[in-house]
A and B are shown apart, each in its own frame.
Chain A
Amino acid sequence: MKSLLVRRSVDFTMTVLCGIALLAALIPLTSVLWLVVSRGISGMNLAFWTHLPAPVGETGGGVGNAILGTLYIVAIASLLGVPLGVGAGVYLAEKGDGPFGDVVRFTAEVLSGVPSIVVGLVAYGLVVLPMRRFSALAGGVALAVLMVPTLARSTEELVRLVPRTLREASLALGIPEWKTSLRVVLRTALPGIVTAILLAVARASGETAPLLFTSLNNQYWNFRADQPTASLTVQIFNYAVSPYEDWHGKAWAAALVLLVVVGALSLLARFLARSRLR
């Protein structure tokens, strides 16, 4: 047996090493947060949230249309991606034990590893080219393709967590299998699935690359799915690469807005996950 001194010093060293690792991980995170908040906060005012971008050379204006556009595109993406992703996940959990399920699972894994700009290209080919115009719909499709694989896999895990006894209880009451899947199993897994959906939505709203050549951008308010639409991420990109100091400030402010939105979604997801566990 080692002496007390040796054990204590090993314990101390390991604790210090772990602490250093923690700090190293926190430094980039906090510095990003600090940078975005400190540079973005000055650009924050009501006009920034509600106004259209100012023309080149003028100061003032806002990114109201981009905030709305992001919400709009993400809503389209959720409308397409959530039913598909959750449905695929339920299928994998309930019926996916055969070779076809393995193929679907493998495809989902490959798909979730595809770079988002490639997904953007696919949406460009699928939607933009046939429609002959950039559109919110194309952006939504691209983001939906990004949401589906992760959503499918997490839904599958969550549905599999529902105890078998519960499904048996339902079947033994003479409730048909499809109703058991939807009304009992899915219902029981729902809080977790909602959390997974929120995280997928948060991730999708932070994407830039797939939107660059799908929804493109728009200097004006747009409420039509078949028109180019502004989004916060693309707006940040455009402002950031511009030569104007004022636009750089706007990019920081827009980044802060995005950070707040994504952070709020993640917090909400956390909160829901915790309240599920009681």
Chain B
Amino acid sequence: MMTETKFVTTMPPVRRAQHTTHEPATARTQAALPETEEPALPATVQAVQQKIEVQKLQAWFRNVHALRDVSLSVPKNTVLAIIGPSGCGKSTFVRCINRMHELVPGARQSGRILVDGKDLHARGVDPVDLRRRVGMVFQRPNPFPTLSIYDNVIAGLKLNGIGGNHQEIAERSLRQAALWDEVKDRLQSSALSLSGGQQQRLCIARALAVGPDVLLMDEPASALDPIATAKIEELIHELRQHLTIVIVTHNLQQAARVADSTAFFYMGELIEHGATEQIFTNPREPRTEDYVTGKFG
């Protein structure tokens, strides 16, 4: 798991990646991962770059042990869904990937996270630069209330002093976020004049404008109605073509719909991580099965 690339079996022509190796969270899950359960499909084996590799990540808030020895990896341009009951460390996990976790007073962490093979906490890595490459969308839409729609989209460019054709970038980002047609005639009105779903897509456009190649989404649809949720999910399908996405969700159907692989967290531990289909149809862990079938959580 220390190498930057590794062999992953893919099932052509589907882009869904099936891991041949899993970094097990605990000895118990390791025992539950017999080699024979890997799919015996006519798989092409190719070197796929792991966009994100998490190794033995632990995180604390003061005395609360929020993440216990989590290891997993996300191949480039795939979607990882993180599921699990409230308080199981899902949000903490994604907030470690863009180093937002360390901003909370009393927060600590150990272990390694590599993005593009580079340790996030290596000397010389500026968390500010990192966050431009690893974008984030939050649970509740949080546009800047004092700015117009247009200014919200380019806020990251403007405040970071990044040049370029802002108008063009704004339009492209809004198109990527499937919001352009709805706002193109009122780019100068307040961001608060948009509906909740539109605000969330505005936040996605804002995150895309700085040009990240990883997008972290922390329950992006939990405050939205079903129609807005469907739009966000459609968007994820589009975005995965050139972005690696990690999405936290409470909604199991949503995970099943959008994710290539799914990780189930429980009480700060990674219980199981595998292809989404496998997690939902053939989980290896009884706790995963209990959760996805609705016995608890």
Chain A residues in the interface with B (C-beta under 8 A): 97, 163, 165-166, 168-176, 179, 183-184, 187-188, 190
Complex interface: stretch among B108-116, B130-138, B176-184: B130-138
| Selected contact of A174 from candidates B103, B128, B144, B203, CB within 8 Å | B128
CA distance A125 to B105 in the complex (A): 42
The answer to whether B207 and A173 touch across the interface, beta carbons within 8 angstroms, is yes
CA distance A172 to B143 in the complex (A): 12
**Pairs of residues from A and B, 8 with the lowest C-beta to C-beta distance, nearest first:** A174-B132, A173-B156, A172-B136, A174-B131, A165-B142, A169-B142, A175-B159, A176-B128
A selection of 28 A-B contacts at a CB cut-off of 8 Å is A166-B142, A166-B144, A168-B136, A168-B138, A168-B142, A169-B142, A169-B206, A172-B136, A172-B138, A172-B207, A173-B132, A173-B155, A173-B156, A173-B159, A173-B160, A174-B128, A174-B129, A174-B130, A174-B131, A174-B132, A174-B160, A175-B128, A176-B128, A179-B159, A183-B159, A184-B144, A188-B145, A190-B146
Determine how close the nearest CB of chain A comes to the CB of B144; give it in whole angstroms: 6
The A interface is mostly helix, strand or loop, or mixed, namely helix
CA distance A168 to B143 in the complex (A): 11
Please judge, given known A-B contacts A165-B138, A168-B100, A168-B138, whether A175 and B144 are in contact too, CB under 8 Å.
Answer: no
Q: Give the interface centre of A163, A173, A183, A184 by most chain B CB atoms within 10 Å.
A: A173
Determine how close the nearest CB of chain A comes to the CB of B247; give it in whole angstroms: 15
CA distance A243 to B132 in the complex (A): 73
Q: Give the interface centre of B135, B155, B159 by most chain A CB atoms within 10 Å.
A: B159
Residues from chain B with Cβ under 8 Å of A190 in the complex: 146
Determine how close the nearest CB of chain B comes to the CB of A139; give it in whole angstroms: 36
Q: What 0/1 readout, one digit per residue, does chain B (195-207) give for beta carbons within 8 Å of chain A?
A: 0000000010011
Determine how close the nearest CB of chain A comes to the CB of B199; give it in whole angstroms: 11
- Minimum CB distance partner of B103 in chain A: A171
Beyond the given pairs A169-B144, A174-B132, A188-B145, 4 more chain A to chain B contacts, judged by CB atoms under 8 angstroms and listed by A's residue number, are: A168-B100, A173-B159, A173-B206, A187-B146
Residues from chain A with Cβ under 8 Å of B135 in the complex: 172-173
- Minimum CB distance partner of A165 in chain B: B142
Determine how close the nearest CB of chain A comes to the CB of B214; give it in whole angstroms: 12
The answer to whether A97 and B105 touch across the interface, beta carbons within 8 angstroms, is yes
- Minimum CB distance partner of B136 in chain A: A172
Residues from chain B with Cβ under 8 Å of A175 in the complex: 128, 155-156, 159-160
Interface presence of B261 (CB below 8 A): no
Interface presence of B8 (CB below 8 A): no
| Selected contact of B144 from candidates A171, A172, A188, CB within 8 Å | A188
| Selected contact of B138 from candidates A169, A183, A187, A188, CB within 8 Å | A169
Determine how close the nearest CB of chain B comes to the CB of A121; give it in whole angstroms: 41
The answer to whether A173 and B100 touch across the interface, beta carbons within 8 angstroms, is no
Determine how close the nearest CB of chain A comes to the CB of B59; give it in whole angstroms: 17
B131-182 contacts to A, CB under 8 A, are 131-133, 135-136, 138, 140, 142-146, 155-156, 159-160
The answer to whether A170 and B103 touch across the interface, beta carbons within 8 angstroms, is no
Determine how close the nearest CB of chain B comes to the CB of A166; give it in whole angstroms: 6
CA distance A184 to B130 in the complex (A): 20
Q: What 0/1 readout, one digit per residue, does chain B (24-63) give for beta carbons within 8 Å of chain A?
A: 0000000000000000000000000000000000000000
Please judge, given known A-B contacts A163-B142, A166-B144, A168-B142, whether A174 and B100 are in contact too, CB under 8 Å.
Answer: no
Residues from chain A with Cβ under 8 Å of B130 in the complex: 174
CA distance A175 to B210 in the complex (A): 10
B213-229 contacts to A, CB under 8 A, are none
Residues from chain B with Cβ under 8 Å of A176 in the complex: 128
Interface presence of B18 (CB below 8 A): no
Residues from chain B with Cβ under 8 Å of A174 in the complex: 128-133, 156, 160, 210
Determine how close the nearest CB of chain A comes to the CB of B42; give it in whole angstroms: 42
Determine how close the nearest CB of chain B comes to the CB of A175; give it in whole angstroms: 5
Residues from chain A with Cβ under 8 Å of B146 in the complex: 187-188, 190
The answer to whether A172 and B131 touch across the interface, beta carbons within 8 angstroms, is yes
